[in-house]
Amino acid sequence: MICCPTKERAEAALAALADILGGLGLSLSRSKTRIVCVANGTEGFDFLGFHHRMVPARRNPRRRYLACWPSDKKMAQARSRIRELTGRNRRHVLTHKVVADLNDYLRGWRQYYCFGNSTRRFAALDAYVVERMALLLSKRHGRRGRGHGLKLIIGSGNRLGLERLAGTIDFGWTVHVAGEGRRQAG
């Protein structure tokens, strides 16, 4: 990722990077390399599993800031993995084992994506995990739909021990300075 103030500078930087990589016997992937103007907020880009885009601030919509959240591709991969962990072939696996496997995956996912503006994506995955567990429990008990499984999850009092992603976002680094309490560094 290279940030430039103008399109001309971005094109020059791309050409210079192509020359440097060419000297090393490498080349840029044309399908993955592009110049994006993020200033207007209509376009964004994916980098290291995050989607980055300029969005308006809540307090002053005329001001924009660069926000990031898990990309659509990574969300689809997460849903696919959750579907594997709660599939019909796991009907006969003990519930606490399925929950432990899900929690291991969700903890790792949360650790990587806990920075930025991931709250909506985390809430969507939380709902998906509950839905998949409800379907799994309903099938296990010979019921149709997810209603019976939802009753079991809600009735457990602790969501069967399922980890929650929503509410675990970290908005910056916290630095402790001796004698001065906590200070937000960004």
Same domain, 101 and 30: no
Q: Dihedral sign, CA of 76, 112, 171, 159?
A: positive
Q: What is the pLDDT of residue 170?
A: 64
pTM: 0.78
**pLDDT tens digits in sequence order for the chain, 186 residues long:** 778 888 899 899 999 999 999 999 999 888 888 888 888 878 899 989 999 999 998 899 889 888 999 999 999 999 999 999 999 899 899 999 999 999 999 999 999 998 888 889 999 999 999 999 999 988 888 888 788 778 878 777 788 888 888 876 665 544 444 444 444 444
- Regarding whether 13 and 90 lie in a shared domain, the answer is no
Residue finishing a domain among 48, 70, 92 = 70
* CA–CA separation, 117 and 134 (whole Å): 28
3-state SS class at 111: helix
Neighbours of 141 (CB within 10 A): 11
Q: Which residue has the tokens 């004698």?
A: 179
Domain count across the chain: 2
User: Do 56 and 118 belong together in one domain?
Assistant: no
Q: Please state, as a whole number, how many other Cβ atoms lie within 10 Å of the Cβ of residue 124.
A: 16
pLDDT tens digit sequence for 73-88: 999 999 999 999 999 8
Assess if residue 13 is contained within a domain: yes
The whole domain housing 122 covers 72-173
- Domain termination site, one of 70, 90, 111: 70
Q: Is the same domain home to 99 and 78?
A: yes
Amino acid identity, residue 129? V
105 and 33 both lie in a single domain: no
Radius of gyration of the chain (CA): 22
Question: Does 157 share its domain with 121?
Answer: yes
* Sheet-wide strand order for 64-70: 44-47, 50-56, 64-70
Q: Look-up: residue for tokens 């084992």?
A: 97
DSSP letter, residue 133: H
**Per-residue model confidence (pLDDT) at position 183:** 46
Tell me: do 46 and 86 sit in the same domain. no
Which pLDDT value is given to residue 176? 43
Together in a domain, 78 and 62 = no
Of 17, 36, 70, which closes a domain?
70
